[in-house]
Every structure is written in structure tokens, then in C-alpha cells.
A = this chain, B = another copy of it.
């Protein structure tokens, strides 16, 4: 035995065969029964070796079909819509949020129309300064109907994800957002908040979010530092 187990030997032999190009990328390996015979080990032992190769990405398994040599395909489509919180976490950063204002007030005419509620019906407005790892990145105003989002009025949203709280406290799941983006120059007040110079470019996003059944959930107005935020989306052409 010399201390080297049969499964390790099989693993090493397969690694050699693969690096040498015995099995072309994209092709299927011989069945486990054949392969075990070729390598002179039992099927159970072979599967240990195959498991190691799979865990390190050298092989891909497909149940009831076989083992495949991966084809070199990098760059799968990026994601569709990410919340600020998700985006921060995906980059390994800690999302932060400082609440500047949180109040209940009557809806304006525009807001009432977009949220499909009565004019002057009560809405919750939340102004927050959002950041990643403490660096301010975005000034964020959210307006929600008080009728559906009442629990949020009294909640501390510091460092919280609004979408998460909305789901947790109100049972509301955002499904679609109508989003528009423009570029603007920061005024003095915004520049102070975001820690940039007045006139620097900011990305201004306006959002109306809806549930799956089409009910408007919230209006969002976000002003991102142009040098610290990147908007990403996958877009499709109508057939």
C-alpha cells in the first residue's frame, strides 16, 4: 500500500489524464463501471476520486447522465436587480444607513397618484444616508403609504435593509421596480451630506416599486455619489 490509498491513486491518474487532454472539454467520461475497470479499482473507490475532482471543479457530475469535463465558460450573466444592501454585501462591504428623518405626513398630489392612494392620505417618509463600511454613498428618500406600511413608522431603520424590513414586518414583497436614472451635479447641501465637492456628478435614481400583483408599494428617490456607485442591470429586447 505504501500509505497511498487506492482512491488517491485513482484520483491522481484521472488528474493526469485530464491535464494531458485524454478527455476533451465538454465531453462525457466513460461510465463509472467502465472507468473503474480501466483504472483497476472498484466503482465505490472510483466515486471517491470523482467526488474529489468534482469538489475542486475539475469535473462536473450530472445525475443519470455521466461525468463531464467542464468547458471553459466564464462570465455568466450578472444579476437583474440588486438592492443597495445586496450590492454592498456582494462586494464584501458592510451596508450602513443613518436615519435623518422619519415622519408621517399627508401625501402630495404626485405621490398619491403614483401610490394610487387618496390625496393627503398619510404616508411615511424616511430620509436616510446610506453608506458602505461607513463611507456615505447615497442620500435616500422613501415614501410609503401609511395604510400598508404602518409598522415601519415606529421602527428603527438604522443599518437596516428597507426591503428586508418591509417583508419581515409588513409581509410585502417587492417584485418589480420602474426605475429611471439621470446624471446631475451635486448642490452644496447634497455635497455636504455625501462628503463630495459641490458640482460633482451624482447618479439620481427615481423608483416606483410594485408587488407581484401590481400594487404600488413605495416611491424611492436616491442620489448616489457618481464615483462610488455603479448601477447594473440586464436588459432584454422584446421579441
List residues of chain A with CB under 8 Å of any chain B CB.
1-6, 20-24, 27, 60-65, 75-81, 113-114, 116, 173-185, 199-203, 210, 224, 226-227, 229-239
Q: Which of A5, A63, A199 has the most CB of B within 10 A?
A: A63
Give 14 CB contacts A-B under 8 Å. A5-B63, A6-B63, A6-B65, A21-B237, A24-B239, A75-B116, A173-B237, A177-B237, A178-B234, A179-B233, A183-B183, A183-B224, A185-B199, A185-B200
- The answer to whether A182 touches B199, judged by C-beta atoms less than 8 angstroms apart, is no
Chain B min CB distance to A206 (Å): 9
A238 proximity list for chain B (CB < 8 A) = 21, 24, 77, 79-81
When C-beta atoms are compared, the residue in chain B nearest to A174 turns out to be B237
- The answer to whether A236 touches B176, judged by C-beta atoms less than 8 angstroms apart, is yes
A65 CA / B80 CA spacing, docked (Å):
35
Chain B min CB distance to A112 (Å): 12
- The answer to whether B80 touches A231, judged by C-beta atoms less than 8 angstroms apart, is no
A181 CA / B22 CA spacing, docked (Å):
26
- The answer to whether B178 touches A236, judged by C-beta atoms less than 8 angstroms apart, is no
A22 proximity list for chain B (CB < 8 A) = 239
A27 proximity list for chain B (CB < 8 A) = 239
Chain B min CB distance to A43 (Å): 14
Chain B min CB distance to A201 (Å): 4
- The answer to whether B20 touches A180, judged by C-beta atoms less than 8 angstroms apart, is no
> When A5-B63, A224-B183 are in contact, do A235 and B202 touch as well, CB less than 8 Å?
no
- The answer to whether B201 touches A185, judged by C-beta atoms less than 8 angstroms apart, is yes
**Can you name 6 extra interface pairs (CB under 8 A) apart from A27-B239, A177-B236, A233-B233?**
A80-B238, A81-B236, A178-B233, A179-B234, A182-B229, A201-B201
